[in-house]
Structure 1
Amino acid sequence: MNVTTVQQRNTDGLSVSIVVYWPDAELLARTLASLATATSELRRERPDLAIEVCLVDNGGGESAPISMDLLKGQGVCCSVLSGHGNVGYGRGHNLAIGHAASGYHLVLNPDIDLDPTSLVEALTFFEQHPEVGLLTPRIGDENGGLQYLCRRYPTLFDLFVRGFLPYGVQRHFRRRLARYEMRDVINERDVVWDPPIVSGCFMLFRTDLLKRLAGFDPRYFLYFEDYDLSLRAHDITRVAYVPGVRVLHHGGGASRKGWAHIKMFAASAFKFFNRFGWKWL
C-alpha cells in the first residue's frame, strides 16, 4: 500500500476519509471543493484546529484528475492511500480510521456537497452535547428536497419494495415506507435523538468511539456496512440527526447500478440479518 502525504500529518482536531473507486471526476471535484469551503469556515471559528483529509483510492483514481489544491490552500493536511486494491467501502475507510489521531472523524462519500457552515454547526453541536458520539446531517437531493436516509430496523419486504419495485408500484406501500424512512419524525427543524440507522454517506464520529467500535465490519464489501455500524454505535453512545448540519447527496440505489450491485446488496443483506436478526414482513 502506498501512502502519499501532501502536508504534515494531523495530530488533533478533525479528520476526514473519502473512499473512491473509479470516481466520477466532476462529482469528486465538487465534493472536495465544498469540503474546502466548509473547512475554511471552520478555520474562521477555530483557527488552531488541525484538519486532515485522507483520500482512499480503491482503484481507478488515476483515471480522474484529483486535485486537493483548494484544501491545501486552507492549511489542510492531505494524504492519498493507494496500491491496496479494491478492498471494499468499509475496509477502505478503516485504512484511514486506523491512522486517525483526531478528536472527530468524518466518513464522507465522494458524491456529497457540504454546506459552507456544516462543519461549524456539527462541531458546535458535539461540544454542546458531550453524550453524542455519532451525528448525521440533513441530507438533501438535487431538487432541494429532503432525502429520508435515517431508518428504522428494516424488514426484507421493506428493502425489496424500496430498492427494486418501480416508483409507480411503490406508491401502494407509501405508508409502510414512510415508517421505515422515519418520515413521521425527520424534518427540517427538529433534532431527532437516536435514529436506529443512519446513512454512511456522511457519518461524523468522535474518533475515540469510532476506534472502540473498530470502524466498519470488514465482512461487508459494499452495502449495509453503515446499518451495521449504526446499530453497534448505539451500544456505547447516543446518535443524533441534526438538521442544522446540511449536505447535498447525489447518490442512487443499488437497483439502478446493475446486476453486480444487486448481487452485492443481497450478499450484504444476508450478512446483516444473520447478525442482527431476520425480519420478513
Structure 2
Amino acid sequence: MESTEMSKLFASIVLYKHQYQDVKPTIDALLGCHSLQGLVLVDNGGCAWADQLEERRVHYIRSDRNGGYGHGHNQAIRAFAEQADYFLICNPDIQFHSADLDCYLAGLSGHAASLFMPRIVYPDGTQQELCKLLPSPANLFVRRFLPALAETLEQRYMLRHADFDKAFFAPSLSGCFMLFRAAALQQLNGFDDNFFMYMEDVDLSRRCAVQFGNLYLPGMTVTHHFAKASYTDRKLLKAHIRSAVQYFNKWGWLFDQTRRMLNKACLAQLPRKKA
C-alpha cells in the first residue's frame, strides 16, 4: 500500500469576492495535510489577499478572466497537476480534519477508480445528497419547478435507497470535493470551459466514469456549507438553467445511451439500506 509520503497532493480553490476569514478554515485544513505539496488559490476577482499569504505551499493565480468555476480550476490543473499524484478540486466552504485526508489518500491505491468522493455532510451532520445518477431533463425540471411531484423521481435519481456507509460507483459526484488521480484528470483535460457554473461537475464526472471510474468512498467525512444559492437568486437560477441546456445539448436530451448505461451500472451494484 502506498504511503502518504509517496502520495503528492495538490489542491485548488476558486475564489470570487471571498473574504479571507471565510475561506481560512478550508485553507488551514488543507495546509495541515502532510501529503499536500501545493494549494493553488485561483482569484476570479476581488481576492487580492490570496496573493499575500506567507506560506511556501500556497500558489496564487490571478485568473485571466472570470470564466466560472471550471475555467478557474482548469488554470490550476494545467499549471500543477503534472507535479501531483492526486489533485483535489475543493470548494472554499469545506471543513475536515487534516489527518483524515492523509489517511484517506493512503488507502486509495487499493481502488481502481480515478475520481473519489468521501462522505459529505451539512454542519448538523446530516448526509448531503451529492452522489447521483446522471440526470434526465425531467429530473432537473421537476426537481426545481415541481417539487410536490418530484418525490418518486428523486428516490431513484438521488440514490436515496443507497447504503452510504458502503463504497459504490456513482456516475455523478459533486464538484465541491472531487479527488482525482492527477494523471487521469490531465487526460480528461479538466473541466469543459464552456460551462460557466453548474453542471460542469456532472459533465466531468460522467467523462471520468466512462474512461477511468468513479467511487463514493466513505473513508472520511467532510462538512460542506451548502447554500443552494440558485434556489433564491434569480441570476444564479438563470445560470443554472443555461448550464443545464448546455449539458443536454452536449450529451442528448431524450436519447443518451451513455447516461442509460452508466445509470444502469450504478443501480445494478448499489448497496441498499436495510429495511
Q: What does residue range 180-219 of structure 1 map to in structure 2 within 5 Å?
A: 180-187=157-164, 189-192=165-168, 194-219=169-194
Pairing 1:77-88 to 2, within 5 Å after superposition = 77-82=57-62, 84-88=64-68
Equivalent of residue 56 in structure 1, options 32, 42, 61: 42
Aligned to 1:9: none
Match in the other structure for 1:150: 131
TM-score scaled by length of structure 1:
0.81
Count of residues paired in the alignment? 248
Quote how far apart the aligned CAs of 1:178 are.
Answer: 2.3
Q: Are 2:73 and 1:93 equivalent residues in the alignment?
A: yes
Which residue does 2:25 correspond to in 1? Answer: 30
Contact 1:55 1:79 in 2 (8 A): yes
Task: Give the structure-2-normalised TM-score.
Answer: 0.83
Q: 2:102 aligns with which of 107, 120, 133?
A: 120
Give the structure 1 partner of residue 264 of structure 2.
Answer: none
Flag the 1:254–1:155 CA change in 2: closer, same or farther, 3 A.
farther
SS at match of 1:235: helix
Contact between 1:117 and 1:245, CA under 8 Å: does it hold in 2?
Answer: no
CA shift in 2, pair 1:92/1:114, >3 Å: same
Give 1:209-248 correspondences, 5 Å limit: 209-248=184-223
Quickly say closer, same or farther: Cα 1:14–1:153, change in 2 above 3 A. same
2:97 is the counterpart of 1:110: no
Aligned residues of 1:32 and 1:68 also touching (Cα < 8 A)? no
One of 151, 154, 157 as aligned partner of 1:174: 151
1:50 Cα deviation (Å)? 5.7
Q: What SS does the aligned partner of 1:117 have?
A: helix
- Equivalent position of 2:258 in the other structure: none
CA distance in 2, matches of 1:66, 1:162: 40
What does residue 132 of structure 1 align with? 113
Q: Runs of 5+ in structure 2 lacking a partner?
A: 1-6, 256-275
- Mapped to 2, the partners of 1:191 and 1:61 lie a distance apart of 37
The Cα of 1:172 is off from its aligned counterpart by 5.0
What are the residue-to-residue correspondences of 1:251-266 with 2, within 5 Å?
251-266=226-241
Partners of 1:30 and 1:164 lie apart in 2 by: 35
- Superposition map of 1:67-78 within 5 A: 68=53, 72=55, 77-78=57-58
Identity percentage over the alignment?
35
Counterpart residue type for residue 18 of structure 2: P
